[in-house]
Amino acid sequence: MAAALLDRFLSSDGSSYPADFQNILNLMSVSKSIGTSSEEFIWKAYSFGKEAHKGQLRKSGEPYFSHCIEVATILAEMELDPVTISAALLHDVIEDTGYTNKDVEQEFSEELAHLVDGVTKLSDIKFRSEEDKQAVNFRKMLLSVADDIRVIIIKFADRLHNMRTLEHLPAVKQRRIARETRDVYAPLAHRLGMYRIKSEMEDLIFKILEPKASRDLDRLMSKRQVFFEKYIQKFMDPVKTRMDASGIEATYKSRFKSRYSIFRKMRDQNRPFEDVYDIYAIRVIVKQVEDCYSVLGLVHSFYKPIQERFKDFIAQPKANGYQSIQTTVVGPDGLPIEVQVRTIEMDRTAEEGVAAHWQYKERGSKTTQDDIDQQVNWLRNLVDILQTEDTTTSHQFMDLLKIDLYKDEIFVYTPKGEVRILPLGATPLDFAFDVHSQVGIHCIGAKVNGRIKPLNSNLVSGDKVEIITSDSQKPNSSWLKFVKTSKAKSNIRKWIKGQEFEQSVHLGKEILEKELRKISKAKEWKHLKDPYMTLKFESEEKMIASIGSGHRTVTSILTKFFPDEYLNPKPEKTESQFAESFLKRARRNTKGVSIQGIDNMMISFGKCCNPIPGDPIIGFITRGRGITVHQKTCDTVGSNLVEKERIIDVDWSAAKAQKFLVRLKVLAQERKHLVRDVTETISAYDINIDTLSMKVDGDVVTGLVIVEVEGVKQLDRLKSKLLASDGVISVERE
């Protein structure tokens, strides 16, 4: 059927191609001629698409297929491969015409059908304002992209053309599509290095979402255009002369940075257009990498570089493949101007990003695939996290994405000189998790360029980072507040979740055993065969954890197996004869603790954990020594004391003022006057120091300080004050 249709359109000699098709061919063969069979393949796709969309119109009144031609043209400008161009011509066939994916596969190829299918599926994903839906859809999109990145490249071109022609839609719809492009497509294009598409998208978004600012800016820019053209000539004339003399073949172009980025600078720096200097850039394009450095030297010999603005992305490419030398120099009349120097190939990659890989090499070759893999490494990492982790909430997921999408990168080195790429603002902890999750989990600090830095300090490009680990170190939720990478975040969350589960199992076990003893069914319980299965739990552990976490009550579980105990309860047994009699007897001074509402109790505090007011605590009834109060988290209570019925609830009673001993472990970088500063800090709070010892190991100092404090609040204040002093890495309660 389709074949018959096609015959009418197939042209035997190229001379009669329609102009729009010929244009696509011309664009594709700028740097490399395309073979006859490829040409026929694309022509077939063109004819098929045109016939399939026959009679359909766009909102603008044009034939629908003109949109498909435009999408293919955008991709042809990027010199993408024939299959991608053909898929672009057919990208709406399945969605909008009667043809199925099978038809496309039979008529063309599996590869092409796969691309068209991918784009169709992507188009089904709608991003609406509700964050939940958006996250789910973003996830779907990333998973489909991981399969063949060309799917998203076609989708970008599709979206770009739709953005270009938005004016035919109602205003509300225009804004919705613009916002969706801003939130989803532009950042993703940025991350994949497709700057040209990204900046055109951003300019179009800007025009729709900020129409007035956009018009104003246009006016200001066209006023300055002439000035800049003259200025650049003045700037480049001497440089060009010297380049010619040295035999360096180079071309240069200059232009305003994108409207949207200028607008952002004006807004962020709160400056008028005239005062934002970083709006105009010169790009010098050379043939060979060596020439980049020669040109850089020339430019610097005429104009003074601004040191901190110099970036060599040739030596250290960005993760998305971007390579270029960037330098900002003080030009004539003291005007700072940015100069980018790169080769032709680097320029392509900088403009087209991941798409550049379908331009130069034959598709399917091993090296190309490796390159692509490297380019989309970030994407694959993210997809890995999505697949392995049980779904974090959508909110968290969007946060992960935003972090990785919008942040720029820094390059830091391992002690062996390996480069790691991390987002801007990354901390030693991000670095540690990037090396290995176990390194992250046990990380207590890091030596950055030989100096010890705290976990939450910010790394900068060029830092050499050596991680210090300790087996006793464990992640805590405060880490989530400062780590930047999704890898670190998801690992910390996973660890905390696992920890919570362990605690629930531990507590659940206690509750269950206590209850079994109470109803005297411990033995019977042991002989039951897999009781968790009866209750439809996945495992024994999960059942017990559900008791510990409070999702199920122990009674609701045991009723199922011992109904008599609960339907006809026996008279209440003494929970603990011992505890009862003790409670009646001991009514002495409480030392600030109240026990189950009773105040007069003989109290001592566990030497193992030294609880202080404000800590969650638990009491343990001792023979003859009253009640020992421990922290709820104290290992001694958890492990050594078998008789759980001797444990009772206790609370801090606010009335009594008393001092408590606390042991603090201070980790710091060795420096002059460290001991003096630490002691002065403590004394400033009117806190007594009981004991102080310092141990120096290399350039790390471990200090053990025992102080007398009034409670948790005072201790917390002291801790943060200590942490703020120079060289102090961590302050932990022991």
Q: Which pair of structure tokens corresponds to residue 713?
A: 């609040």
Residue 200 makes CB contacts below 8 A (sequence gap 6+) with 160, 163
If the CB atoms of residues 158 and 615 are measured against Mn ion, the closer one turns out to be: 158
CB 222 within 8 A of CB 436: no
Our answer to whether residue 13 is catalytic in this structure is no
158 makes contact with Mn ion (CB under 5 A): yes
Three-state secondary structure readout of 49-101:
HHHHCCCCECCCCCECHHHHHHHHHHHHHCCCCHHHHHHHHCCCHHHHCCCCH
Q: 22-59 in b/e burial notation, b at 16+ Cβ within 10 A?
A: ebbbebbeeeeebeeebbebbbbbbbbbbbbbeeeeee
Catalytic residue chosen out of the listed positions 95, 229, 732, 734: 95
Catalytic residue chosen out of the listed positions 96, 105, 541, 708: 96
If the CB atoms of residues 117 and 409 are measured against Mn ion, the closer one turns out to be: 117
CB of residue 122 vs Mn ion: minimum separation in angstroms?
A: 10
If the CB atoms of residues 103 and 158 are measured against Mn ion, the closer one turns out to be: 158
d(CA 57, CA 51): 13
Of all residues in the shown chain, the one whose CB is closest to Mn ion is: 158
Quick one: which segment of 157-165, 172-180, 409-417, 506-514 binds Mn ion (CB under 5 A)? 157-165
Number of residues in contact with Mn ion under rule CB under 5 A? 2
If the CB atoms of residues 158 and 430 are measured against Mn ion, the closer one turns out to be: 158
If the CB atoms of residues 55 and 597 are measured against Mn ion, the closer one turns out to be: 55
d(CA 190, CA 317): 15
Q: Which pair of structure tokens corresponds to residue 66?
A: 């003109």
| Sign of the alpha-carbon dihedral angle for 350, 355, 357, 358 | negative
Our answer to whether residue 96 is catalytic in this structure is yes
CB of residue 140 vs Mn ion: minimum separation in angstroms?
A: 18
Quick one: which segment of 57-65, 153-161, 204-212, 432-440 binds Mn ion (CB under 5 A)? 153-161
CB of residue 94 vs Mn ion: minimum separation in angstroms?
A: 11
d(CA 242, CA 294): 11
CB of residue 118 vs Mn ion: minimum separation in angstroms?
A: 13
Binding mask 108-147 for Mn ion (x = CB under 5 A): ----------------------------------------
CB of residue 260 vs Mn ion: minimum separation in angstroms?
A: 24
If the CB atoms of residues 55 and 417 are measured against Mn ion, the closer one turns out to be: 55
Task: List the interface residues with Mn ion, window 51-110 (CB under 5 A).
Answer: 92
CB of residue 159 vs Mn ion: minimum separation in angstroms?
A: 8
* Beta-strand relationship, 593-595 and 409-413: unpaired
Task: List the interface residues with Mn ion, window 600-619 (CB under 5 A).
Answer: none
Q: Which long-range contacts (CB under 8 A, 24 or more apart) does 19-28 make?
A: 20/66, 20/69, 20/73, 21/46, 21/69, 23/73, 23/76, 24/69, 24/72, 24/73, 24/76, 24/85, 25/76, 27/73, 27/76, 27/77, 27/79, 28/76, 28/79, 28/80, 28/82, 28/85
CB of residue 92 vs Mn ion: minimum separation in angstroms?
A: 5
If the CB atoms of residues 178 and 452 are measured against Mn ion, the closer one turns out to be: 178
Can you give the binding site for Mn ion, defined by CB under 5 A? 92, 158
By annotation, the residues acting in catalysis are: 95-96
